[in-house]
Amino acid sequence: MTVPSPSPPHDGPPTSHRGHPQATYRLQVHGDFGFDDAAEVVSYLHSLGISHAYLSPILQAAPGSTHGYDVVDHSRLSEPAGGRAAFDRLSAALADHRMGAIADVVPNHVAVPTPARLNTALWSVLRDGPTSPYAEWFDVDWGAGNQPLLMAVLGQRIGKVLADGELSVDGDVLRYYDHEYPLRPGTETLPIAELVTEQWYRLAHWRVADEELNYRRFFDVDTLAAVRVENREVFEATHELLFELLHEGKLHGFRIDHPDGLADPRGYLRRLAERTGGAWVVVEKILEGDEDLPGDWPCAGTTGYDALLRVGGLFVDPAGAAPLAAFHSELTGEPADFAPVVEQAKREVVRHGQYAEVHRLVELLAKICQDDVRLRDHTRRAFHEVVVELLVNFDRYRAYVVPGEQPPHTAVQAMEHAVELARRNLDDEQQDTLELVRDLLLGREAGTASRIDEDARHELIVRFQQTCGPVMAKGVEDTAFYRWFRLSSLNEVGGDPAHFGVTPEEFHAFAGRLNQHWPRTMTTLSTHDTKRSEDVRARLAVLSEQPAAWTEAVRSWRAMSADYRDAGLDGSTEYLLWQTLFGTWDNGPLAEDRLQAYLQKAIREAKRHTSWTSPDTEYEESVAAFATGVLADQALLDSVRRFADAQAEYVRAATLGQKLVQLTMPGVPDVYQGTELVDLSLVDPDNRRPVDYAQRIARLARLDDGARPDGLADEKLLVTSRALRHRRQEADAFAGSYKPLPTSSGHAVAFARGDAAVTIATRLPVTLHRLGGWGDSTVVLPDGDWQDVLTGRPVGSGAARIHELLAELPVALLARS
C-alpha cells in the first residue's frame, strides 16, 4: 500500500474555534492528566484533524476524583488538574492552533464529599437547615416538621455508634472517622446523644438511605446530591465560571450531563442558549427505540449513543440472532427474550434502590387526593402498586411533560403504553387508581375542577419524570446488561440487545434524518461510559456471522477448563468471560489484573450472587479462581489464539468500517482518547487508563512520512487522521448533503457527502468471504475523477468494481482529484 502524502498542518480553510466543532477529541482530565498535559498533545490533536478538545468536567471535584462528575466548588477550576493558570496555558495552546475547547457540564448534582466542608453550600445547609442561604439549592423534603437531612454514612446503627464512642465533638464540628459535620449553633455543649438529635442532619446507618433518604440524588448514589438548577440563582451560581470562560473565548461549547435528571430540561437548555448566545451544546440523552430528541430543545443534538447503535449495528448479522440465542439459553438458562430480564431488574431497582423516591411519589399522590374530596378514596397501597408498575413498564428515560402545558403527543403515547402494560399486573380495584395517576402525570383534569393544591400536582409531574431515568439506568444499563449476554457487544449505553443488526437501508434513513434535523449532533463509538470500547465491540460483532464456529469453540474451551470451574459458577458469568476473553484478545489475553477487576465489577452489577452493598466473598473467589485457571492454561490459550487469528481479516473490516462510517456520516465526530489506535478497553475505570501519546505521535509521523501501515492499529490511525483532515479541508461539503450510493452488494455501505467525499465500507465480511468475495459487485460513484485519500489510488466515476476499490483496505474514502 502506498500511503498518500499528508495534508499540511494548516491545510484548507482555518478551523474556526468560535464556531461549532468539526471534530472533537475527548480528554479525561484529572490529577494525573491535567490541563498542562492536555496542552502538550494539542499539536498532535491538530495534526490528527481535530478542531476542538472535548474536556471532561473541569470544575473542582471531590478529593481523588478521576472523572470530575462529583463537583464540590463551581467557582474554581480543578486544582489537581492545574487550576486556572494551567487551564489558561491549555487555552493558549489551542488558540495557537486555531482550535477550541468543549467542556462537560454537570448541572444535575454536586458531591457530598468527605469531609463535607469541601462543599460550601452543603456545609451551610447542614449547619443552618432551611434557614441557610443555600437551602433552595438542594431538592430536600424537610417535611412539615422540618425533619433533618439524612446523612446515611454510619457503618452500624446509630445506637451502636454512640455506645462505641465513635462520634466526637471538636469545637463546632462533629466527627465520625474521616467524616466531619457542622454543629448547629448553640448545640456544641450538649451531651453527645442529645447533640446528634438537635442537628439539621440525621446521622444514620448507610443501609437506611434506600428507604428513608429525603434528598434527591443522582440515581442511587448517596454521595451525589441533586441541585435545583431550575432556580435562577442556582443556575447562575453553578454556571458563572463556565460562562466567564465562554465569553473570554476559552470555551466554545458544552456537553450537558444527564439532562433527564433536571426538573425542566427544555427550560434549562433555553436558559443556557440565552446566556451563551446559542453556543454549540449537545446533551447526554439516551434515546430508546424510535424515540426522537424533542424538537423544541435548543441544542445541537445528542452525545451520539443513537449513532453508535446504528453504526455498530451495520456490522452485526441478523442471521446470527437465533442460533446465538439458543446457545446462550443452553449455556446460561436465561430466557431467549431480553424483556423479562429487564422487567425483573427494574422491579428490583424500584423495590430497593429507588424505594425512597417511590415513597415520595406515593405521599404526593396521597396529599393531592386527601385534599380533594372527589379523590379521597384512593389508598396509599393502591398508589404504591400503581407507581411501581408504571415505573417498571415505562420504556424510556422520560416523558417530557411540562406542568401547565398541554403534553406533547409523544409523551402521551409513552405514558399510555406504560399504562396498558401496567394494567395487566393490577387487579380490578386498582384500574381506576391507575387511570387517575395517568391523568395526574399528564396534567389532565382530575377531581375537583378548581384543582386544589396545584403546586403538589406540578411537583408530582416533575418528580415522576425524574424517577423514570434512574429506574431505566440502574435497571437496564447497570443490571440487566450484566445478566444477559446473547452477544455482549449489543449491551451498550443507548443500545438494545434485542436489536440484532442494522441494514444499510435503516442506517441511511437514520443518517438522512440526522442530516436534515440534527446536522451538528455529536457522533461517537466510544465514551467514558461505554461498557466496551468500539474495538472490543467490533471483534465481537464478527461472531454474529459464525455462531456455529463460536459455539464449537466455547464448547471446547469449557471442556478444557472443567477443572477450574467451581460447581457454583454461574453460566452467565462464565459465558461473559469467554466473550470478554475473545473481545479483548490482542496477540494474547487481557492482563489478569484488568480481567479480574472487570469480572468483579460485572458480577456485582448483575446483583445475582454478589453486589456492591452485599458482596459474597465465596462466589467472587470462585469466579476469580476460574479466570486465573483459564489464563494459566497455555493449551487453552493456544486454542483461543487459533480461533482469534482466524478472525483477523474479519475483525479488520469491522474495526475500520465502523470507524470510517462514524467519522464521515452526518454530525460532529468525537474520538475518545486513545481510540485512534486499536483500543481494547472495558467499562470504567478500565477505559480511563493512561494514554501513550508519544507512541501515537510517532506512529502518525511515520505514516505522514509515507510509511506503510504496520498492522491494524496503524491502519485505524491512517483512517482516522485522513478522514478527519479531509473533513476539515472540505468542511462545507460535510455540512451539506448526505446521499446513499447504490451498490449491487449488501456487503457494502456507501454514501456521498456533498460533492467532495465518498465513503465505502465492507460489512459482514465473513459471509462475503463464504460467497467468494466481491465478484462483479459495483458501487455507483458520482460523476468526476476521484482519488482514495487512504491509498492515493485514482478512481473514475460511474459503476466502479468494489473489489478494485477495496483491494488494499476494506474501506475507501474518495475525494475529488
Read off the pLDDT of each residue in 769-793 and give the average, rounded to a whole number: 96
Model confidence pLDDT, tens digit, residues 641-671: 999 999 999 999 999 999 999 999 999 999 9
Is 413 part of any domain?
A: yes
Q: How far is CA 208 from CA 153, 154, 163, in A?
A: 9, 10, 19
Of 141 and 358, the structure prediction assigns the larger pLDDT to 358
Query: Looking at the structure, do residues 213 and 176 belong to the same domain, yes or no?
Result: yes
Query: Looking at the structure, do residues 257 and 370 belong to the same domain, yes or no?
Result: no
Is 150 part of any domain?
A: yes
Is 384 part of any domain?
A: yes
pLDDT for position 12: 37
Model confidence pLDDT, tens digit, residues 182-201: 999 999 999 999 999 999 99
Q: How far is CA 54 from CA 245, 444, 701, 728, in A?
A: 15, 42, 23, 17
Average pLDDT, the chain: 94
- Is the pLDDT at 214 greater than 60, yes or no? yes
Query: Looking at the structure, do residues 102 and 243 belong to the same domain, yes or no?
Result: yes
Q: Considering the chain, what percentage of its residues have pLDDT values greater than 90?
A: 91
* Position 7 confidence tier, pLDDT thresholds 50, 70, 90: very low
Model confidence pLDDT, tens digit, residues 110-156: 999 999 999 999 999 999 999 999 999 999 888 766 789 999 999 99
Provide the residue range defining the domain that includes 168. 116-226
Q: For 620-648, give one letter per residue: b (16+ CB within 10 A) or e.
A: bebbbebbeebbebeebbeebeebbeebe
Is 42 part of any domain?
A: yes
Is 391 part of any domain?
A: yes
Helix axes 534-541, 305-313, angle to 10 degrees: 30
pLDDT for position 6: 45
Query: Looking at the structure, do residues 239 and 294 belong to the same domain, yes or no?
Result: yes
- Is the pLDDT at 204 greater than 70, yes or no? yes
Q: Where does a domain end: 477, 510, 543? A: 477
CATH of the domain at 139: 3.30.1590.10
Query: Looking at the structure, do residues 164 and 136 belong to the same domain, yes or no?
Result: yes
Query: Looking at the structure, do residues 348 and 473 belong to the same domain, yes or no?
Result: yes
19's CB contacts (< 8 A; 6+ apart) are 252, 280
Read off the pLDDT of each residue in 752-767 and give the average, rounded to a whole number: 96
Read off the pLDDT of each residue in 153-177 and give the average, rounded to a whole number: 96
Is 575 part of any domain?
A: no
Query: Looking at the structure, do residues 238 and 222 belong to the same domain, yes or no?
Result: no
* Position 450 confidence tier, pLDDT thresholds 50, 70, 90: low
Tally the domains of the chain: 3
Q: Where does a domain end: 226, 245, 273? A: 226
Q: How far is CA 101 from CA 10, 43, 91, 245, 727, in A?
A: 18, 14, 8, 10, 18
- Is the pLDDT at 243 greater than 70, yes or no? yes
Read off the pLDDT of each residue in 236-263 and give the average, rounded to a whole number: 97
pLDDT for position 451: 63
pLDDT for position 9: 43
644's CB contacts (< 8 A; 6+ apart) are 582, 585
pLDDT for position 505: 97
Pick the range with the lowest mean pLDDT from 62-71, 451-460, 561-570, 604-613: 451-460
Query: Looking at the structure, do residues 170 and 249 belong to the same domain, yes or no?
Result: no
CATH of the domain at 243: 3.20.20.80
Read off the pLDDT of each residue in 259-282 and give the average, rounded to a whole number: 97
Q: Where does a domain end: 477, 503, 527? A: 477
Query: Looking at the structure, do residues 252 and 206 belong to the same domain, yes or no?
Result: no
Is 87 part of any domain?
A: yes
Model confidence pLDDT, tens digit, residues 522-537: 999 999 999 999 999 9
Is 233 part of any domain?
A: yes
Query: Looking at the structure, do residues 98 and 137 belong to the same domain, yes or no?
Result: no
Query: Looking at the structure, do residues 155 and 234 belong to the same domain, yes or no?
Result: no
**356 within 8 A of 211, measured Cβ to Cβ:** yes
- Determine the straight-line distance between the first and last CA of the chain, rounded to whole angstroms: 19
- Is the pLDDT at 18 greater than 60, yes or no? no
Query: Looking at the structure, do residues 251 and 273 belong to the same domain, yes or no?
Result: yes
